[in-house]
Amino acid sequence: MGEQTDRDAGVLLVATMDTKGSEAAFVASAIQEAGIQVRIMDAGIRGTCTHPVLVSREEVAREAGTTLEAVQKIGHEGEALGAMIRGAVPIARRFYHEGRVKGVFGIGGSMGTTLGTAVMRAFPLGVPKVMVTTMASRDTRAFVGTRDLLMLHSVCDLSGLNRITRAVLGNGAHAMAGMVRWRELHEQRDERPLAVISTLGTTEVCAVEIRRGLEERGYEVVVFHTVGAGGEALEELIREQDVAVLVDLSLHELTDHRFGGDYDAGPERGRSALKKGVPTILVPGNVDFLVAGAFDKAVARFPGRKAHAHNSAITVIRAADEEIEAVGRVVAGFCAGATGPVKILVPGDGLSAFDHPEGPLYSPGGPEAFLRGLNQELDGACPVREVPAHINDPAFTAAVLEVFDRITG
């Protein structure tokens, strides 16, 4: 396949070789100097490739069910790139399942980054992924998604080799080599059952104690920060791996998704464990506020609301009781479709650190509003318990661990 040989597993370098040929060759040489093989996939569309590759652009197009000539005739650059991505991703995944890929490296501007990161997101967590890009100083969520992807800012355009591009590309290459070597030496599977917890900083006191309790019970614990991408990653992990139990302590993303906050994890947030039958404890942590941006813009978006500047970039807005009630109805709807054990615990004295008599957004009606919405729709589908404590009180942690022992016993 192509001009490169394919003897050993190594790093898959994904690039448009018509525009990034010399840069890709430099990276390949640097990684090979570290003793790791490099195989290049060319997904370029225009121009010509003058370097040896394992996968040619013609092969990428064929994998997508078309031809390079047909792709070149597409009148829209984004659609043409999409066709090449549809070919590149399955080829890369096939190589991985054949044991031929130890890491994925990409180079590019906006188009090359869209290509490279699309391939990287198809690989499991733990597989090294490095993207050297002009886009790394911007909002990178569309590129990173839910994967452990290293975005390295190229500083200048990746147009030829010079003192800056050689330094950045060399650093990226040796970062990849180091990650591959570390994984070879240290990769091991944890045989403990896997427990998942969601949280934000405003429920961290509770989350830390729950994590400690679960680890003492012999569980490996993974904690997700519910900032939108965190909730998406949580749902993805549950769908893809054998999760033993979920303590969904922070349902905040349900509020933001429905009422315009920034920490939006999409419509599937909260569903995966219930559909899969994973034993689940649901807690309406952090549903008492929405997250917005800088203070001036946030109060303009949510006029007349109680607001708190968490920092210069994040403002939190108190959720109205009717919004919290609506989230309760949503949770009840999710529970109706549960296929495994579910327990709902509601902290009656406050839903977050902000929702505390000494907090900046305190309003005592939040827990009752959630319960009101929950009971309107629940119809006995899941047991509900109101705990007379704040979510960060030791008594609430104790209640969660007590229920945990029952649903996993």
Residue 100's alpha-carbon distances to 24, 38, 193, 355, in angstroms, are 19, 10, 29, 52
Run of H or E including 366: helix 366-377
CATH 3.40.50.12030 residue ranges for the chain = 194-408
Give the per-residue pLDDT at 337: 87
- Is residue 119's pLDDT more than 80? yes
Give the per-residue pLDDT at 3: 47
pLDDT digits (tens, 9 = 90+) for 153-179: 999 999 999 999 999 999 999 999 999
* DSSP for residue 2: -
pLDDT digits (tens, 9 = 90+) for 209-229: 999 999 999 999 999 999 999
The region of weakest confidence among 7-16, 182-191, 247-256 is 182-191
Give the per-residue pLDDT at 323: 98
First to last CA, the chain: 53
* Residues near 108 by beta carbon (within 8 Å), at least 6 away in sequence: 15, 16, 20, 114, 115, 116, 131, 132, 133, 134, 158
Q: What are phi and psi of 342, to 5 degrees?
A: -135, 140
Share of residues in the chain with pLDDT > 90 (%): 90
The region of weakest confidence among 130-134, 286-290, 334-338 is 334-338
Residue 247's beta-bridge partner residues? 197, 281
pLDDT digits (tens, 9 = 90+) for 230-270: 999 999 999 999 999 999 999 999 999 999 999 999 999 99
Domain 10-186 sits in CATH at 3.40.50.12020
Closest alpha carbon to 112 in 122, 120, 102, 124? 120
Give the per-residue pLDDT at 373: 96
- Is residue 397's pLDDT more than 90? yes
Give the per-residue pLDDT at 2: 41
Give the per-residue pLDDT at 1: 36
Per-residue pLDDT band at 5 (split at 50, 70, 90): low
pLDDT digits (tens, 9 = 90+) for 30-74: 999 999 999 999 999 988 888 899 999 999 999 999 999 999 999
Q: What's the rounded Cα separation, in Å, for the pair 387 and 320?
A: 22
| Secondary structure (3-state) at 247 | strand
- Is residue 379's pLDDT more than 80? no
Q: What's the rounded Cα separation, in Å, for the pair 324 and 361?
A: 14
Give the per-residue pLDDT at 8: 74
Q: Report, as an integer, the average pLDDT of 122-139.
A: 94
Per-residue pLDDT band at 6 (split at 50, 70, 90): low
Give the per-residue pLDDT at 311: 93
Give the per-residue pLDDT at 185: 87
- Is residue 17's pLDDT more than 90? yes
CATH 3.40.50.12020 residue ranges for the chain = 10-186
Query: What is 194-408's CATH superfamily?
Result: Uncharacterised protein family UPF0261, NC domain (3.40.50.12030)
